């Protein structure tokens, strides 16, 4: 009985906890200048799952390493296809994406 109660309590706690915000970093070929960054950022910020409260309105571009950091809203899933289309419409080529871990803080990004 106790185990069942604990299991129910844990399940409830799990369901009641909002999903943590998830940020991602995308490697983008050719993004080498501030104007490149402006164009790509402009397209990405229009996506509905971007969290404008983080980075620079949800996006931070590291032109030193050709990476784009994006912040995702709480409880919203990343639409990778839409994200890659947005980058391509900005004139550049996304090559891969991965989730940012706690060990990779945003301070790593070139300000």
Per CB under 8 A, residues contacting another protein are 28-40, 42-43, 63-64, 66, 89-93, 110-111
Taking the complex as a whole, the smallest distance from the CB of residue 55 to another protein amounts, in Å, to 13
Report the residue number, 73 or 90, with the smaller CB distance to another protein.
90
Report how far apart, in Å, the C-alpha atoms of 8 and of each of 3, 13, 18, 44, 54 are.
9, 9, 18, 41, 35
d(CA 87, CA 28): 8
d(CA 64, CA 74): 29
Report the residue number, 23 or 66, with the smaller CB distance to another protein.
66
Taking the complex as a whole, the smallest distance from the CB of residue 19 to another protein amounts, in Å, to 31
Report the residue number, 37 or 73, with the smaller CB distance to another protein.
37
């Amino acid at each position: 009985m106790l185990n069942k109660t604990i299991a129910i309590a844990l399940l409830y706690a799990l369901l009641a906890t909002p999903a943590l915000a998830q940020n991602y970093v995308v490697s983008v070929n050719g993004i080498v200048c501030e104007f490149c960054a402006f164009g790509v950022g402009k397209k990405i910020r229009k996506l509905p799952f971007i969290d404008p409260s983080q980075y620079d309105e949800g996006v931070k571009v590291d032109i030193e390493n050709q990476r784009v950091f994006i912040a995702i809203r709480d409880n919203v899933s990343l639409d990778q296809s839409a994200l890659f289309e947005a980058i391509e419409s900005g004139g550049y080529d996304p090559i891969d994406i991965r989730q940012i871990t706690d060990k990779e803080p945003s301070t790593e990004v070139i300000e």
